[in-house]
Chain A
Amino acid sequence: MADPKLAWPAKPKLLSTHVQRIDAPEKVTGRAKYTYDINRPGMIYGKIVRSPHPHARIVSIDLSAAEKAPGVKAVLEYSKAGAQVMYQGDPVAAVAADTEERALDAARLVKVEYEALPHLASVEQAMAENAPKVFTPANTRAGQSEETGDLEAGFKAAAHVIEATYATHVITHVCLETHGTVCEWDGDKLTAWVSTQGAHQCAQGFAQSLKIPQANVRVITQFMGGGFGSKFAPDSQGIICAQLAKIAKVPVKLMLDRKEEHLDSGNRPSATAKIRAGVSAEGMLTAFDARSWGTGGAGATSNFPLPYIYNFPNRKRQHTDVYINAGQQRAMRAPGHPQGCYLTEILMDELADRVKMDPVAFRIKNLPPKGPNAMWQDYFEMGAKRFGWDKRHPTGEGGSGSVKTGMGVSAHRWGGAGRGSRAHCDITSDGGVVVKCGTQDIGTGTRTLVTIVAAETLGLPVSAVKAEIGDTVYPFSGGSGGSTTAASVSPAIRHVTMKALDALFAKVAPTLGTTAENLVAEGGRVFVKGTPSKGLSWKDACKVIGTEPVSVDGEWQDGLSGSGTSGVQFAEASVDVETGIVKVTRILAIQDCGLIVSGLTAESQVYGGVIASINFALFEDRILDRSTGHMVNPNMEMYLLAGMSDVPKIDIVINNMPERGVIGIGEPPTVSTASAIANAVRNATGATIRSLPLHPHRVLAAIDQERAGGTN
Chain B
Amino acid sequence: MSVSRREFLKSAGVSGLATAVTSATVGQAEAQTSPAVIGPGDVPVSLMVNGKRLDLRIEPRVTLLDAVRNRADLTGNKRVCDRGTCGACTMIVDGRTVYSCSTLAIDVQGKPIRTVDGLAAANGTMHPVQQAFCDVDGLMCGFCTPGFVVATVALLEKHPNATPEQMRKGLDGNICRCGTFVRIMEAAQKAKTTMGVRRG
- Name A residues whose Cβ lies closer than 8 Å to a Cβ of B: 20-21, 23-34, 36-37, 39, 99-101, 105, 108, 174-178, 223-226, 228, 257-258, 442-445, 600-601, 603-605, 607-612, 635-637, 641-645, 647, 650
Contact = CB atoms under 8 A, between A and B. Distances in A.
Q: Which of A27, A34, A36, A442 has the most CB of B within 10 A?
A: A27
B80 A636 contact: yes
- What 9 pairs between A and B have smallest CB-CB spacing? A30-B76, A443-B141, A611-B179, A225-B143, A608-B179, A27-B142, A37-B75, A636-B81, A24-B134
B133 A24 contact: yes
B94 interface: no
A21 B83 contact: no
A645 B141 contact: no
Contact of B116 (A23, A30, A34, A645): A30
Contacts of B144: 176
Given A28-B126, A100-B70, A604 B137 contact: yes
Contacts of A23: 142
A637 B145 contact: no
Q: Which of A21, A29, A605, A608 has the most CB of B within 10 A?
A: A29
B178 to A, nearest CB: 5
B20 interface: no
B120 interface: yes
B30 interface: no
Q: Which of B86, B135, B182 has the most CB of A within 10 A?
A: B182
A600 B137 contact: yes
B181 A647 contact: yes
Contact-size category for B: 35 or more
B78 interface: yes
B14 A607 contact: no
B157 interface: no
A31 B76 contact: yes
A429 B137 CA distance: 34
B52 interface: no
Interface of B: 14-16, 59, 61-62, 66, 69-70, 73-83, 85-86, 88, 115-117, 119-120, 126, 130, 133-135, 137, 139-146, 149, 167-169, 171-185
B115 A30 contact: yes
13 contacts: A24-B139, A28-B145, A36-B75, A105-B14, A174-B177, A176-B141, A177-B143, A225-B141, A442-B141, A603-B137, A607-B183, A610-B179, A645-B168
Contacts, number: 176
Given A176-B86, A641-B175, 7 more contacts: A30-B116, A36-B75, A37-B69, A99-B59, A176-B80, A636-B81, A650-B182
Contact of B81 (A28, A601, A637): A637
A643 B174 CA distance: 7
A264 B130 CA distance: 35
Contacts of B139: 21, 24, 27-28
Contacts of A29: 76, 116-117, 119-120, 126, 130
Contacts of B79: 36
Nearest to B187: A28
Contacts of A641: 175, 177
Contact of A176 (B69, B120, B177): B177
A505 to B, nearest CB: 35
Contact of B169 (A27, A225, A442, A645): A645
A518 B58 CA distance: 67
A39 B177 contact: no
A601 B183 CA distance: 11
A33 B81 contact: no
Given A608-B178, A608-B180, A635-B85, A20 B135 contact: yes
A98 to B, nearest CB: 11
Mostly, the B contact residues are loop
A613 B195 CA distance: 34
Contacts of A445: 140
Q: Which of A24, A105, A223, A610 has the most CB of B within 10 A?
A: A24
B113 to A, nearest CB: 14
A145 to B, nearest CB: 36
Contact of B142 (A225, A258, A605, A610): A225
A230 to B, nearest CB: 11
Given A108-B16, A608-B140, A176 B78 contact: yes
Nearest to A43: B70
A644 B181 contact: yes
Contacts of A174: 177
Nearest to B134: A24
B81 to A, nearest CB: 4
Contact of B75 (A24, A33, A226): A33
Contacts of B14: 105
Contacts of B184: 644
A609 B179 CA distance: 7
B197 to A, nearest CB: 19
Nearest to B143: A225
Contact of B172 (A27, A601, A644, A650): A644
A673 to B, nearest CB: 10
Contacts of B185: 644, 647
B194 to A, nearest CB: 14
A32 B134 CA distance: 14
Nearest to B16: A108
Given A225-B142, A442-B141, A444-B140, A258 B177 contact: no
Nearest to A650: B182
Contacts of A99: 59, 70
Contacts of A224: 141
Contacts of B171: 643-644
A25 B137 CA distance: 11
B134 A25 contact: yes
Nearest to B59: A101
A215 B117 CA distance: 36
Q: Which of B135, B139, B178 has the most CB of A within 10 A?
A: B178
Nearest to A647: B181
A105 B19 CA distance: 12
A607 to B, nearest CB: 5
Contacts of B178: 226, 443, 604, 608
A348 to B, nearest CB: 26
A172 to B, nearest CB: 11
B72 to A, nearest CB: 10
Contacts of A105: 14-15
Contacts of B62: 101
Contact of A636 (B86, B167, B168): B86
B145 A36 contact: no
Contacts of B176: 176
B25 to A, nearest CB: 22
Q: Which of B61, B141, B145 has the most CB of A within 10 A?
A: B141
B133 A612 contact: no
B130 A28 contact: yes
Contacts of A650: 182
A223 B146 CA distance: 14
A611 B181 contact: yes
Contacts of B173: 643
B180 A39 contact: no
A443 B142 contact: yes
B133 A28 contact: yes
A238 to B, nearest CB: 19
B51 to A, nearest CB: 15
B92 to A, nearest CB: 14
Contact of A25 (B73, B126, B146, B182): B126
A636 B83 contact: yes
Contacts of A39: 70, 73, 75
Q: Which of A105, A600, A611 has the most CB of B within 10 A?
A: A611
Nearest to A21: B137
A50 to B, nearest CB: 16
A561 B141 CA distance: 24
A612 B142 contact: no
Contact of A175 (B85, B177, B182): B177
